[in-house]
Structure 1
Amino acid sequence: MGVGVSRLEVIEGPSGRRRRTKAERARIAAESMMPGVTVTEVARKHGTTRWQIYDWRKQIRKGNLMLPENLAALPFFAELVVDDRAAAASAVVTSCDLEILVGDVVIRAGSGADEGQLTRAIRAARAAAS
């Protein structure tokens, strides 16, 4: 008594699994780090999961994924908070002209720090905080 297949349905088209280039992954992860944007919004927009984006962000921090040059040059801004007590205390420190607070991280820069150095420091602090 042989039991055979009476009907076989072949489904064609994408399997739901997308293959993304490293540049695409880095671009999506960078988009999720922009101010005012949530990882959930970016994941929905690009048809991926939040966990995948968090993994790509971790790969960027580790250096396994590199941001495209056009994105790496974009400034990432952090909220500036001025605290009068901190301003009075920093008057004692002569080598620090600027102090930037990103989450729990304090970035202190002298007058010789250029925009590129500050941008990289702020990005690193934001990536570490997420």
Structure 2
Amino acid sequence: MGVHLDGSRGGGVSRLEVIEGPSGRRRRTKAERARIAAESMMPGVTVADVARKHGTTRWQIYDWRKRIRKGNLVVPKSIAALPIFAELVVDDRTAEASAAVTRSDLEIVIGDIVIRAGAGADEEQLRRAIRAARAAAS
């Protein structure tokens, strides 16, 4: 509730206007807070972008993230089940693998997508390729 005081006449209040309605503050459930905080922790996502998207501040999201770490806020199972990192699979089939991939090469499998990189692969290019593969797999 907002209050407007009109004190234009000699210092005394001549008119008092009470404005009713929402205060501008949003009331979010614990599940909503946890979902927004979890979204901000996904790879390649910035807290500022998530804050803008949901109409909150970065500091509020950082507070929710801290509550998650302390156990005061619980991430919904549907979000907690999402993979954060690509699964590492070691394949012992050396006869076929050695013909296609040399020892200095790297092979990353995300779902049906295989990323192969040489020993001199640029880390940022590899990071972008993994993000794209994750996005395509989900």
**Is 2:68 the partner of 1:60?**
yes
Which residue in the other structure is 1:74 paired with?
Answer: 82
Provide, for residues 22-80 of structure 1, a one-character-per-residue CA deviation record: whole Å limited to 9, x for no partner: 111100000101122110111111111111111111111111111111111111136x9
TM-score where L is the length of structure 2: 0.50
2:57 counterpart residue number: 49
> What is the RMSD of the two structures over their aligned residues, measured on CA atoms?
2.2
1:40 corresponds to: 48
Please list, as runs of the form range in 1=range in 2, the aligned pairs for 1:1-130 lying within 5 A after superposition.
Answer: 5-77=13-85
Amino acid at match of 2:82: L
Q: Percent sequence identity over matched residues?
A: 86
Cα separation, 1, equivalents of 2:15 and 2:70:
50
Q: Within 2, Cα distance between the matches of 1:57 and 1:5?
A: 46
Pick 1 or 2: higher relative contact order, CA cutoff 8 A, min separation 6. Answer: 1
The CA distance in 2 between the partners of 1:9 and 1:41, in whole Å, is 38
What letter corresponds to residue 30 of structure 1 in structure 2?
Answer: A
| Aligned amino acid, residue 72 of structure 1 | A
Q: Which has the higher strand share?
A: 2
Q: What amino acid sits opposite 2:74 in the alignment?
A: M
Structure 1 residue 5: Cα displacement: 3.2
Structure 1 consecutive aligned stretches of length 4 or more whose deviation exceeds 3 Å? none
Larger Rg: 2
C-alpha distance in 1, partners of 2:53/2:82?
Answer: 21
Unaligned runs of 5+ in 1: 85-130
Query: What is the TM-score when the length of structure 1 is the normalising length?
Result: 0.53
